[in-house]
Amino acid sequence: MTQQYDLIIIGGGIVGAAAAYRAVRRGARTLLLDRRDPGRATHAGAGILAPPVSNHRSPIWFDFAVEAVDYYPLLVGQLAEDAAGETGYARCGMLNVAATEDELDAFAAAEANIFARQQARGAPSSDALHRVTPAEAKALFPPLAHVHAALYYRDACRVDGRLLTDAMTRAAAGQGLTVENRSAERLILEAGRVQGVEAGGEEIHAGAVIIAGGAWSPAFGRQLGVAINVEPQRGQIIHWDLSPQEAEAWPIVGAFRGHYMLTFPGGRVVTGATRETGSGYAPTTSAAGIREVIDEALRVAPGLAQARLLEVRVGLRPFTHDGLPVLGSVPGTENVILATGHGPSGLQLGPYSGLIAAEMALGDESPADIAPFSVTRFG
């Protein structure tokens, strides 16, 4: 049996692209199989990077998210050295707001959790994370309603998932990555070891395989003898145009009904998103979903009422019911790593997860504790 590659990666979203970039930088002969499914979560995600003000209640998720976001400056710096192009990564700050009086209890509970974490970790500093007045919040994000309470995190960042994924793939291709736009139909398994994949009727052999297929990853569970309990969760997100008004410097805004808004260069404002568990693999818009996104955006920021519609994006997030990713090896099967299940945190956690998957696939230890993310937790 001839080994054609050191590593095959299934899935070219942000996790797969990050794994490929890490692998080729280590000198591994790498193949990225990417069938570019409509509804890929990476292409619709908002790109909010702000764990210190997250409402996620799991300390396991939080610790991992902090490590993941701390990896971003190194990654973006490496891509700049490789002249990989724009990533959309920038520090912009974030506001958590109680837009209406009925959100004050939820705001108070979230604030207590955020400040408790801040005190326990000794970070961020009080200069970087603190209360602001409603007037100060509106000055930071002019379309905002007169909110009832607001918390500001100066060091929150944003990233454009499409740009970053393209940059990593482009940089990796420049260093020897092979990219093929076709489907991995099955794994080649021999004596409890993955030896490669079958794609387009062709057997392609490799020393290891990473499954980073997002919401489509469970298709390999039967072969591996495990339940990869990841399902598609549809998210509808709307992009608006406020030009010639320049909104790039405005912070991200999060309220307490599961929605957010953020801005990008050129007067682009992003509002979202629905969380439609049980949606199936249908990356389609719906009247109800679009109305939900618009109604929530205008409730929190009525000043967006005259924004011009650019597009509605739909992503199928790889959702797990415990809110944690699926990351690591598969007991009983060698040479395969799972890297999926990041849900609505894919752009936040994805690049670091890709790095971890690549390190493990190439024979090294994970730089982070990923034991809680094992596929074995599903039984």
- Which of the following CATH numbers is that of domain 116-155+234-317: 3.30.9.10, 3.40.50.10190, 3.10.20.740, 3.30.70.1140? 3.30.9.10
- Residues 259, 300 contacting (CB under 8 angstroms): yes
- Rounded distance between C-alpha atoms, residue 110 and residue 258, angstroms: 13
> What does the pLDDT look like over 198-236, one tens digit per residue?
998 899 999 999 999 999 999 999 999 999 999 999 999
- Rounded distance between C-alpha atoms, residue 168 and residue 82, angstroms: 10
Phi/psi for 362 (5° steps) reads -95, 10
Report pLDDT for 379.
80
Q: State pTM to two decimals.
A: 0.96
- Residues 206, 4 contacting (CB under 8 angstroms): yes
Report pLDDT for 2.
65
Report pLDDT for 234.
97
Report pLDDT for 239.
97
Nearest to 266 by CA among 85, 86, 112: 86
**Helix-then-strand count for the chain, H and E:** 8, 20
Below-70 pLDDT ranges, the chain = 1-2
Peptide bond before 244: cis, by omega within 30 degrees of 0?
yes
Token pair recorded at residue 267: 């007067």
Residue span(s) of the chain under CATH 3.50.50.60 come to 5-44+162-230+322-378
Phi/psi for 344 (5° steps) reads -75, 5
For the chain, first and last CA: distance in Å?
34
Name the residue type at position 65.
A
How many degrees, rounded to 5, is the angle at CA 176 between CA 351 and CA 366? 35
Token pair recorded at residue 325: 């990713």
DSSP E strand stretches across the chain? 5-10, 30-33, 48-49, 90-91, 94-98, 129-132, 149-153, 157-158, 178-180, 184-190, 193-199, 202-211, 231-241, 252-254, 260-264, 268-272, 276-277, 308-319, 326-330, 333-340
Residue span(s) of the chain under CATH 3.30.9.10 come to 116-155+234-317
> What does the pLDDT look like over 281-298, one tens digit per residue?
999 999 999 999 999 999
- Which of the following CATH numbers is that of domain 5-44+162-230+322-378: 3.50.50.60, 3.30.1330.20, 3.30.470.10, 3.10.105.10? 3.50.50.60
> What does the pLDDT look like over 60-88, one tens digit per residue?
999 999 999 999 999 999 999 999 999 99
List the beta bridge partners of residue 13. none
Token pair recorded at residue 296: 């929530």
Residue 193 CB neighbour total at 10 angstroms: 12
